[in-house]
Chains A and B, each alone.
Chain A
Amino acid sequence: MTSTMATTQNSRPVHLSVNGKPCQGMAEPRLHLADFLRGELKLTGTHVGCEHGVCGACTVLVDGVSARSCLMLAVQGEGCAITTIEGLAASEHDTHPLQQAFHELHALQCGFCTPGILMSLSELLAANPDPDEDAVRDVLSGHLCRCTGYQNIVAAALRAAQILRERGGHAR
């Protein structure tokens, strides 16, 4: 299979862990992490929106904390542990409680912003299993959704927290 990414003289290998698996690819210094995940590693669940850190669509976890993958170079990912939306559910046949709650409560329409929002919320629920609405809205302030008006997203985040508490599990 030929890569769609232009590999130039300036490209260099990048070794990192993505969703718990060791990965490597080639990146020019100017390539941001979101384009590397999508183009080089073929993980297209991470969406690219504004490319200047405002919309939050490209949010992933870098070493366990949320970050804009458009504001980080792929070469800076060397040695890092990245978690993307593809790594949220335990398996391909399973849904994470966040995904389940978003589905049940209609917390998405077009779905473009959803992967980034789920990654940020997974960070919140890992740190705070019982967040109040203010805490959820504070995290969501870093994301733009132009479909829903956010109400159902807030409701789904709180529902997911409840599901996780009832299971006694953790949001990764």
Chain B
Amino acid sequence: MKAPAVDYVAPRSLDEALQCLAGADNARVLAGGQSLMAMLNMRFAFPDCLVDINRIPELAYLRDEGDSVRIGAMTRQRDVEFSDMVRDRLPILREAILNVGHRQTRNRGTVGGSLCQLDPSAEIPTIAMALDAQVHVASASGTRSLAMADFPAGYMTPALEADEMLVGVSMRPWDPGHGWSFLEFSRRHGDFAIASAAVLLSFGADVRVDRCSITLGGVSTAPVRMAQAEQALLGTKAEAADIERTAALCGAVEASSDAYVPGWYRQRLARVLAGRAITRALERATR
């Protein structure tokens, strides 16, 4: 189908973009367009105005800030994929980004666009949740930051006001020696995942798990941290029985059903993927 009639502005600076959003009633920010353009063509979205942020260089960056890595909203997924800094500092993000769509969509798709689209099975929001990311938001009246955990306001709905836009995200790298793994299951490579698991863990001097993050994507209305499963693995030596018990807790996640996939199948995938991801993360961790 063809997109509905729409106004279009292409501001050259962030300030100008925020002014456009402040003055508009029903505007949408257009970043890489890999979801919004499809929604326009299918007439799922009817904005009055598109605020195109592709010509705002100050929104595209990958910055190592020591404690955290800050990524601009307009940073292309391609640039994350090929960044040596991301490979070294946020290896789980690089592993996940290879599952985002295809070469042809990663070339234009952005980090901020994926975060705001907030598809429950999308890889970038899942990793942001796994890394306790801070999300940076701006409007003409100021800026604020919020935890990724507070960013989803509902199914595919970020907690943004109409005049606000996402400007960046900060992700905190784990210490060298940590183990990580991102795994997903989809019917074809590049399709939306039916379920995914992101696992990070590290060992203390006593060779027991002293830190652990387990996130499931695709199973619920937004990516979900599995606090109980994390607790089950903490303090253990991560032996087979510990992994099995932790994975079983992931399999007990409240999972949604749709026309294609029943909830019990997502739960089954959650258990299996979590188990495999923990095992892979253990192989990579320094004990």
Q: List residues of chain A with CB under 8 Å of any chain B CB.
A: 10, 28-30, 32, 35, 51-53, 56, 59, 62, 65-68, 70-73, 75-76, 78, 120, 123-124, 138-139, 141-142
Q: List 27 A-B contacts (CB under 8 A).
A: A28-B5, A29-B50, A30-B2, A30-B4, A30-B5, A30-B40, A32-B41, A35-B2, A51-B1, A52-B42, A53-B38, A53-B105, A56-B102, A62-B107, A65-B78, A66-B107, A68-B34, A71-B38, A72-B33, A73-B8, A76-B33, A76-B52, A138-B103, A141-B189, A142-B104, A142-B105, A142-B190
Interface residues on B, range: 20 to 34
Restricting to B31-66, which residues have a CB under 8 Å from any CB of A? Answer: 33-34, 37-38, 40-42, 50, 52, 54
Q: List residues of chain B with CB under 8 Å of any chain A CB.
A: 1-8, 10, 30, 33-34, 37-38, 40-42, 50, 52, 54, 78, 101-105, 107-108, 188-190
* Nearest 6 interchain pairs by C-beta: A142-B102, A29-B8, A52-B38, A71-B37, A30-B3, A65-B107
Question: Are A71 and B103 in contact, CB atoms less than 8 angstroms apart?
Answer: no
Question: Are A53 and B37 in contact, CB atoms less than 8 angstroms apart?
Answer: yes
Residues on B with beta carbons closer than 8 Å to the beta carbon of A75: 8, 10
Known contacts A30-B6, A73-B37; 14 additional CB pairs below 8 A are: A28-B5, A29-B6, A29-B8, A30-B2, A32-B2, A32-B3, A53-B38, A62-B108, A66-B107, A67-B107, A68-B104, A72-B33, A124-B103, A142-B101
Expressed in whole angstroms, the Cα–Cα distance for A38 and B40 within the complex equals 20
Residues on B with beta carbons closer than 8 Å to the beta carbon of A10: 5, 7
Expressed in whole angstroms, the Cα–Cα distance for A138 and B1 within the complex equals 28
**Given the contacts A29-B8, A142-B102, A52 and B41 also touching, CB distance less than 8 Å:** yes
Residues on A with beta carbons closer than 8 Å to the beta carbon of B190: 141-142
Question: Are B104 and A67 in contact, CB atoms less than 8 angstroms apart?
Answer: yes
Residues on A with beta carbons closer than 8 Å to the beta carbon of B50: 29, 73
Expressed in whole angstroms, the Cα–Cα distance for A149 and B188 within the complex equals 15
CB distance from B113 to the nearest CB of A (A): 11
Residues on A with beta carbons closer than 8 Å to the beta carbon of B37: 32, 53, 70-73
Question: Are B108 and A72 in contact, CB atoms less than 8 angstroms apart?
Answer: yes
Expressed in whole angstroms, the Cα–Cα distance for A123 and B104 within the complex equals 10
Residues on B with beta carbons closer than 8 Å to the beta carbon of A66: 103-104, 107
Residues on B with beta carbons closer than 8 Å to the beta carbon of A78: 10
CB distance from B4 to the nearest CB of A (A): 7
Expressed in whole angstroms, the Cα–Cα distance for A35 and B40 within the complex equals 15
Question: Are A76 and B54 in contact, CB atoms less than 8 angstroms apart?
Answer: yes
Expressed in whole angstroms, the Cα–Cα distance for A52 and B8 within the complex equals 20
Question: Are B104 and A56 in contact, CB atoms less than 8 angstroms apart?
Answer: yes
Residues on A with beta carbons closer than 8 Å to the beta carbon of B6: 29-30
Chain A: CB-nearest residue to B101? A142
Residues on A with beta carbons closer than 8 Å to the beta carbon of B108: 62, 67-68, 71-72
Expressed in whole angstroms, the Cα–Cα distance for A80 and B101 within the complex equals 23
Expressed in whole angstroms, the Cα–Cα distance for A124 and B107 within the complex equals 13
CB distance from B99 to the nearest CB of A (A): 11
Question: Are A51 and B103 in contact, CB atoms less than 8 angstroms apart?
Answer: no
Residues on A with beta carbons closer than 8 Å to the beta carbon of B40: 30
CB distance from A61 to the nearest CB of B (A): 9
Question: Are B103 and A70 in contact, CB atoms less than 8 angstroms apart?
Answer: no
**Given the contacts A53-B37, A76-B52, A120 and B103 also touching, CB distance less than 8 Å:** yes
Expressed in whole angstroms, the Cα–Cα distance for A76 and B7 within the complex equals 13
Residues on B with beta carbons closer than 8 Å to the beta carbon of A141: 102, 188-190
Residues on A with beta carbons closer than 8 Å to the beta carbon of B7: 10, 29
Expressed in whole angstroms, the Cα–Cα distance for A141 and B100 within the complex equals 12
Residues on A with beta carbons closer than 8 Å to the beta carbon of B188: 141
